[in-house]
Amino acid sequence: MKIISSPLELKNYLKNYNCSVGFVPTMGALHEGHISLIKKAKEQNDLVIVSIFLNPTQFLKDEDLDKYPKKDEADKKLCQLSGVDVLFFPHVDDIYAEDEVSVLAPKVRGYVLEGSSRPGHFNGVLTVVIKLLNIVNPTRAYFGKKDAQQLNLISLMVKQFFMSVEIVAVDTVREKDGLALSSRNAYLTPSQREEALKIASSLRNATVMVTRGVLDSKEIISGMREILSPLHIFYVEILNRDFNQLAHIEIGNTIILVEVKVGTTRLLDNIWL
C-alpha cells in the first residue's frame, strides 16, 4: 500500500493508471462500517483509494474537532489488511488555502435535520468532498447510508455540478445489538452506550409498525419518540428519498431518520424502507 500526503503527488501517481478507481473518503478512526465501504470499492474497481482527513471546516466552533478520535497507525494497518492500494493522508495545509473559493450547501436541504442544529456543517462537507473528488478523480465514490443527509447532498452536488463520478450508497453496519457503528461511539460510557440502544429500538419498532400495516408518519414518529425518551431528540423524521416529508410511508421510497444526544455525543441513525 502506498501512502501519499500531497494532492499533486497523488494526481501524478494516478496518471500511471488507466483503470477504474474506487474512492472511500473518511475522517479516520476506522471501524467495520468504513471497511464495508472499502470492500464494496474493491469488488467494483481495479484500484482502491482511501482518504483519511479530519476535515476542520465541517466542525462548528464548539464541536468535537479537538477530541475527535485519532488512530493513525491502526488505520494504516487496517487499510493495508483490507487491500487498499493508496492511502491519501493529507495535512490541513495540503487541502485548504487562506482565501478560498467555497461551495455552499443548498439553502433548504442543507439546513434541515443535521443542518439545522449544525448550521454550515454541510458547507464544509461539500467543500472537502469536491476537493477530494477533484484530486482523486475516481470512477466511483463510496458513502454510507448512515449519513443519509450527507449522501443526499453529495449526490445532489455531483448532479448539479455535472460531475461524472458515480456515487455508491452502502448499507449501515451495526453491532450485534443494533447500535450503528460510528467513530463517535468511542465517546460513550457503558451506561450511555446502553441508552444509545434506544435509537436502534425506535427504528426497529417503526419497522414492526409498518409491517403491521401502520403507515401514518405521525403515529410512527410518536411511537419512536416514546421509546427514545428521555434522550434529547434533535429530530425524528420520515422522508422520501429526495428528502421531502412524507405523511404516509411509501415502501421503497422512505427513510426514517433519527438524531439524538446521548450525554454530550450526538448520534444519528436511519432505516431505508
Task: Say whether residue 128 binds ligand AMP (CB under 6 A).
Answer: no
Catalytic residue check, 34: yes
Question: Which stretch, 109-117, 138-146, 211-219, 228-236, contacts ligand AMP (CB under 6 A)?
Answer: 138-146
Task: Say whether residue 130 binds ligand AMP (CB under 6 A).
Answer: no
State the catalytic residue, choosing from 31, 34, 91, 232: 34
Binders of ligand AMP: how many residues, by CB under 6 A? 17
**Which residue's entry shows cell 485519532?**
70
DSSP alpha helix (H) spans, the chain: 7-14, 32-44, 72-81, 92-95, 114-117, 121-136, 148-160, 190-211, 217-228
In which order are the strands placed within the sheet that holds 232-240? 232-240, 254-262, 265-272
Task: Say whether residue 180 binds ligand AMP (CB under 6 A).
Answer: yes
**Which residue's entry shows cell 464548539?**
62
Nearer to ligand AMP, 173 or 214 (CB): 173
Q: Least CB distance from residue 146 to ligand AMP, whole Å?
A: 4
Q: Least CB distance from residue 214 to ligand AMP, whole Å?
A: 27
Inter-residue contact 197 to 220 (CB < 8 Å): no
Which of 139, 149, 152, 172 binds ligand AMP (CB under 6 A)? It is: 172
Which of 95, 136, 170, 256 binds ligand AMP (CB under 6 A)? It is: 170
Q: Least CB distance from residue 151 to ligand AMP, whole Å?
A: 7
Task: Say whether residue 209 binds ligand AMP (CB under 6 A).
Answer: no
| Other residues' Cβ atoms within 10 Å of the Cβ of residue 77 | 13
Which of 75, 85, 144, 199 binds ligand AMP (CB under 6 A)? It is: 144
Nearer to ligand AMP, 109 or 184 (CB): 184
Say whether the peptide bond before residue 69 is cis (omega within 30 degrees of 0). no
Task: Say whether residue 181 binds ligand AMP (CB under 6 A).
Answer: yes
Of 31-50, binders to ligand AMP (CB under 6 A) are 33-34, 36-37
Residue 24's nearest CA partner among 70, 74, 79 is 79
Task: Say whether residue 265 binds ligand AMP (CB under 6 A).
Answer: no
What's the rounded Cα separation, in Å, for the pair 41 and 21?
8
Nearer to ligand AMP, 110 or 221 (CB): 110
Q: Which long-range contacts (CB under 8 A, 24 or more apart) does 33-38 make?
A: 33/144, 33/146, 33/172, 33/173, 33/180, 33/181, 33/182, 34/78, 35/78, 35/82, 35/173, 36/170, 36/171, 36/173, 37/142, 37/143, 37/144, 37/170, 38/79, 38/82, 38/83, 38/84, 38/142
Inter-residue contact 41 to 140 (CB < 8 Å): yes
Which of 14, 27, 47, 224 binds ligand AMP (CB under 6 A)? It is: 27
- Chain contacts with ligand AMP (rule: CB under 6 A): 26-27, 33-34, 36-37, 143-144, 146-147, 170, 172-173, 180-183
Q: Which residues are part of the catalytic machinery? A: 34
